Amino acid sequence: MTALPANIDATVELLRQGGYVADRALATPLYLALALQRPLFLEGEAGVGKTEIAKVLAATLGRDLVRLQCYEGLDIAAAVYEWNYPRQMMAIRLAEAAGRGQDQSIVKDIYGADFLIKRPLLAALEPHAKGAPILLIDEIDRTDEPFEAFLLEVLSDYQISIPELGTVHAATPPIVILTSNRTREIHDALKRRCLYHWLDYPNAERERAILAARLPKVGERLTAQVVAFVQALRAMELFKPPGIAESLDWAQALLVLDAGEIDRGIVDATLGVLLKYQDDIARVRGEIATRGVAPFLSGPVEPAVAAQ
């Protein structure tokens, strides 16, 4: 288990060791969250590296990663705990077969820890051999307000009450990272409990550094072209611009295809790696048909104006 970083520069270096290129604007709230034992709320577009931060922290700090993937309808049974009903029924039937069907101790037995199924939130509060785990609450904006209220209670005291067993307290609070793609607003009460950071798309310099760190086999020239092309797509205000994840996927695809540079043919064949909506793909192909690929490699692309 690695010690927590002692300052902001050490936080930048810790992430770099895990292949994550972070600037001080991101490293500062992360360092403060670690130092103050406060949850860090990361908000931003999908694919900008929010989830990856928790994964890299777990890897570089040598901690367990406990992930709660949020979705609409998420409830306590899926997020915190539930009882192993089939096993409870089997225990009751075995007791009945042994002539202990009326024994009141059976009720206590089947509501013991051996019959408890621990879900991510409960698992994160329990002791871990590697130290306090990284608790990733991913895409919190997909849940509903009642779950937010419950989560606020958990994060306020780092404890969970189980009626049959009592209250479970975290001896050491987990390192909590919450992410949101901002498909809806999260209640202020939950945000106030956290330190907040908006994670935006990286600028060209940082994105080149990310690709160089994650995919060193991609040459400098191709890396520069990939970044220039992706940055130009983001400037087009597409329905779903490509994130860092798509940049990495595309660079890796070009590497697999042994593409030495970006041209119209390779773009046309691989555009689906970058863009996931047909309207976006059609729009980009239309711009390329009108102007070619070169404008995408030199800066933001202005929409073509139809001839009058």
Pair type for strands 159-162 and 166-169: antiparallel
pTM for the whole thing?
0.87
Q: Which residue ranges in the chain fall short of pLDDT 70?
A: 100-105, 299-308
CA distances to 99, 240, 271 from 299, in Å: 80, 19, 18
Long-range contacts of 163-166 (CB under 8 A, 24+ apart): 164/111, 165/111, 165/112, 165/113, 165/116
Contact call for residues 11 and 56 (beta carbons, < 8 A): no
Domain definitions of the chain by residue range = 8-74+119-198, 81-118, 204-297
Q: How many residues does the chain have?
A: 308
What is the Cα–Cα distance from 300 to 303, expressed in whole angstroms? 10
Q: 244-256 vs 220-234: helix axis angle to the nearest 10?
A: 140
Kindly state the DSSP code that residue 295 receives in the 8-state scheme.
G
> Per-residue pLDDT tens for 17-72?
999 999 999 999 999 999 999 999 999 999 999 999 999 999 999 999 999 999 99
CATH code that applies to domain 8-74+119-198:
3.40.50.300
Contact call for residues 127 and 171 (beta carbons, < 8 A): yes
Residues 201-224 as b or e (16 or more Cβ within 10 Å = b)? bbeeeebbbbbeebbeebeeebbb
Radius of gyration of the CA atoms of the chain, in A: 25
pLDDT in the model for residue 103: 64
